[in-house]
Chains A and B, each alone.
Chain A
């Protein structure tokens, strides 16, 4: 059985964490979903100038700690992520690799409309997790707007795109091995 490790890094919203885990269990019912604490303090990856955290550095740190793990590791953060050339990233993943990181910092509806919407936050979080996880499984960006692998640079695009993989991406990534 394949394993998917959810690794919160300074992730304070435990209700959301549980909801994410339960949803992943439902979606990938042939996989084992576990929550682990990698004990990473992200402070080392912080850019004081940008008040953001360098996602690639956090991923590198996670790699050191998860060598013996058999399965995929998804890091969850509630702080804003960046890679130096970009203003921000929703997440980062190793293409065809083991590790990915997703930030929920820019997925809160309050930022855009001032209205809290927990259901929407969960939906957006799941989309971004599935998206980065898809890269781990070797998937590239998909042209199909109904596919969660469609690229999304803005929050509207996160909302517009589908919440699961299209048929082609499911086939390419052997998603059925994770589902009964």
Chain B
């Protein structure tokens, strides 16, 4: 339903026609203005926004057709309906090609006019509504974890924008937990395929036979347990994108199959003969050194070149330290909100620790660390004790640069003390030293119990 009155401009050189139409539309509760020629129409059009213009083809001065072109230059959305004498129908048809919505012959059948106008306005409203919904959808599906202001991430964003609008196969390289899937989603939602699905297949998690049926689908009875016909991921990705994660792990046989499907976009379901065509874009990801795998013969060279059309290298988190505070605060807000806890900050000490940590598990590890901290913290600020590293990652050096034995000893003692709640006797026993030696080491390294 129209919520506001639609605005109509009637352009005709005959006063009686303008008045009749104005009167007619006013009875239908439209807002109506009239113009007596092309110039007058352009003046009124520039002043006010109209939803629909009813335009006489034959007028002195600017003709209806010229006016149509001029108006369409200003506003591509406005609905233009032409009024024409029966004899000028061919030029009305030309007008349709130039962007008019419809034409109506004089004298006008009032019923026809009502229906054309009503339908045109309804269509316009639906189009507007559709655009609004699409915009809202874009907001909703924007991957919110793809965050960073470091030069390396800014470069990634530029690359995403470059590759997204094309249909090029892309491969995303990077360590585990760096957010390769998020980048694939970002490419997908910035592409023309965004209103179709992005289908993710974790190739590393599936055995060869299962992967085959996952990717291509299977017919009923294709193998033991195939009780129903099932669509494969390539079929499901029709119109959209297929994201093949951990591509480096697939078997040589699947590599051949994959290459064939990527090139032909055609395949058959397992146990079936029907050739299925699917229009998909491939984005692959791996944390393996594919070049090395090609050298060793574990990965087909032709598939490597087929996938390696456009490569995005995602930097590990330790190489973009400046993003850590932004990411940490983002995850804090996310988890505090979802757990309904009032935690507003991360202490300087905890943040300093996060920046100095090595992050072998990258952004995923940081996300998990913040989630845990939000669960355990009892104040409105995350403290260093809320972070899990002292306990869970004894093997990870705090500071990558300091590889001395002294640093290792200091950290080992600190972890042991923390684990045993600073019970000196038990810690000394666990460390295999006496209590006096432990006290000396605590003093030497300046270790302090956190309150």
Contact = CB atoms under 8 A, between A and B. Distances in A.
Interface of A: 50, 56, 82-89, 95, 135, 140-141, 151, 153-154, 157
B14 interface: yes
Contacts of B115: 153
B28 A141 contact: yes
B109 A83 contact: no
B13 to A, nearest CB: 12
B16 interface: yes
Contacts of A88: 110
Contact of A85 (B20, B27, B29): B20
Contacts of A56: 16, 20
B107 A153 contact: no
Contacts, number: 55
Contacts of B20: 56, 83-86
A140 B26 contact: yes
B274 interface: no
Given A83-B20, A85-B20, A95-B23, A154 B111 contact: yes
Given A151-B114, A153-B114, A86 B27 contact: no
Residue from A50, A87, A89 with most neighbouring chain B CB atoms (10 Å): A87
A75 B336 CA distance: 75
B17 A85 contact: yes
Nearest first, the 8 A-B pairs at minimum CB distance are A153-B111, A83-B20, A85-B17, A140-B29, A85-B20, A87-B107, A153-B110, A141-B28
A83 to B, nearest CB: 4
A141 B107 contact: no
B110 A86 contact: yes
Given A95-B26, A140-B28, A85 B111 contact: no
B68 to A, nearest CB: 19
A77 B430 CA distance: 113
5 contacts: A56-B16, A84-B17, A85-B20, A86-B109, A95-B23
B55 to A, nearest CB: 13
B70 interface: no
Contacts of A95: 23, 26-27
Contacts of B113: 86, 153
Contact of B16 (A85, A87, A151, A154): A85
Interface in B87-121: 106-115
Contacts of A151: 27-28, 114
Contacts of A83: 16, 20
Nearest to A93: B27
A85 B108 contact: yes
Nearest to B21: A85
Contacts of B109: 86-87, 153
A86 B29 contact: no
Contacts of B106: 85
A85 B109 CA distance: 9
Contact of B110 (A84, A87, A135): A87
Given A85-B20, A153-B111, 17 more contacts: A50-B107, A82-B107, A84-B17, A84-B20, A84-B107, A85-B17, A85-B21, A86-B20, A86-B24, A86-B108, A86-B109, A140-B27, A140-B28, A151-B28, A153-B112, A153-B113, A153-B115
